Amino acid sequence: MHDDEAQVILKRDAALIHTILKGNGERYDDIVERYQTGLYRTAYYYTQNVEDARDLTQDIFIKAYNNLAGFKQDSAFSTWLYRIAINHCLDWCRKKKPQYVEAAYLNNLSTEDDSPEDLFLQQEIAYEVQAAVSSLPAIYSTVLILYYFEDFSPQQIADITDTPKRTVETRLFRGRKMLRDKLHPTPSGGEGHAMLSESGQLAQLR
């Protein structure tokens, strides 16, 4: 994300929050609209099912609204919101282990040029990756989700997770290696594993 774009978002968020704190609670739906896709996706990476992801997303937004007066405008709102989200998701993981894993054959935003086969392949890969990421220890899956899927920088991840930036960089290196090991083809093979072979897209995770 360019610095100019980030500045515009920062100012727009600050103005919205100022309006809400002045008593215009209806404007909170703009905040929800802006961040619900990212938060829902993040929650899904932790929960692996849509019902829990939906419930978690709702809880996160409600919690954020109720604590909005405590938001210090010296940091980005997205960082503050994701801090609440990650803590909430980690709490959820500690209290309630997923009973089942649900494939994410939902609304994959692919281009209209994609053939059905390409679409299917993309969904298969996405499912493999999401399952592999969520099976990692939380400290690694968190940094991978925030860096690769939510486009946060290591410094922003450090702010969100309240961890030194150096630790975040180390966890990114280790997390990527662990993810590569999870996705690496096994000798027993099988169709699903063939997609993760050296010629496949995920072979880039070497």
Size of the residue set binding another protein (CB under 8 A): 61
Candidates 12, 106, 118, 189: give the one binding another protein (CB under 8 A). 106
Best CA proximity match to 92, nearest among 53, 127, 128:
53
Candidates 129, 146, 160, 178: give the one binding another protein (CB under 8 A). 129
Candidates 16, 131, 139, 205: give the one binding another protein (CB under 8 A). 205
Tell me the CA distances in angstroms from 119 to 73, 146, 183, one per residue in order: 42, 25, 20
Residue 28 is a binding residue for another protein (CB under 8 A): yes
Residue 166 is a binding residue for another protein (CB under 8 A): yes
Separation of alpha carbons 118 and 110, rounded Å: 9
Q: Which string of DSSP letters, residue by residue, matches 92-152?
A: HHHH---S------S-----TT--HHHHHHHHHHHHHHHHHHHTS-HHHHHHHIIIIIS--
User: Which residues contact another protein (rule: CB under 8 A)?
Assistant: 20-23, 25-26, 28-29, 32-33, 36-37, 40-41, 44, 50, 53-54, 57-58, 61-62, 65-66, 68-69, 104, 106-109, 122-123, 125-130, 144, 147-149, 151, 153-156, 165-166, 168-170, 172-173, 176, 201-202, 204-206
